[in-house]
């Protein structure tokens, strides 16, 4: 909905490890090390996730693809003008967190309990 700020620097995500995946009916939480969480809406028209260069997936579809990312570190992180956040993990798999809606919030990033980004 809001896209990423032009000066957004995703480097604070590099080196963090994916420790947990919490799934709700329409929401997925990626729990990273050092008290960082990325929460994404699970509807294709509100947001969503994709793995590598695959299609946009809803929560039930994407969750199995995330299990092999558990305990892997983020080695590269970047944001695109369209609001997509791309995270490359050890082993080369890329997770894209999309901003696919003009009407609804797509994802949030929390750091140490405080929301630092709403897209």
- CATH 3.20.190 at 10-118, yes or no: yes
What single DSSP character describes residue 64?
H
The residue ranges of every structural domain in the chain are 10-118
SS3 10: helix
Q: Percentages helix, strand, coil for the chain, rounded to the nearest 5? A: 15, 40, 45
Cα 90 to its chain centre, rounded Å, is: 16
Per residue of the chain (119 residues), what is the pLDDT tens digit?
A: 678 888 899 999 999 999 999 888 778 899 999 999 999 875 544 456 778 777 766 666 777 778 889 999 999 999 998 889 999 999 999 998 888 777 778 899 999 999 998 88
Are 74 and 89 in contact by the 8 Å Cβ rule? The answer is yes
Please state, in angstroms and rounded to a whole number, the distance separating the CA atoms of residues 15 and 42.
Answer: 25
């Amino acid at each position: 909905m809001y896209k990423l700020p032009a000066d957004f620097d995703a480097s604070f995500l590099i080196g963090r490890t994916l420790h947990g995946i919490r799934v709700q009916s329409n929401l997925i939480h990626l729990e990273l090390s050092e008290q960082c969480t990325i929460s994404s809406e699970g509807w294709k028209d509100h947001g969503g996730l994709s793995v590598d260069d695959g299609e946009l997936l809803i929560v039930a579809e994407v969750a199995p693809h995330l299990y092999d990312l558990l305990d892997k570190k983020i080695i590269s992180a970047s944001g695109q003008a369209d609001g997509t956040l791309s995270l490359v993990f050890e082993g080369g798999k890329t997770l894209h967190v999309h901003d696919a809606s003009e009407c609804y919030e797509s994802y949030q990033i929390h750091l140490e309990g405080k929301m630092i980004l709403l897209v």
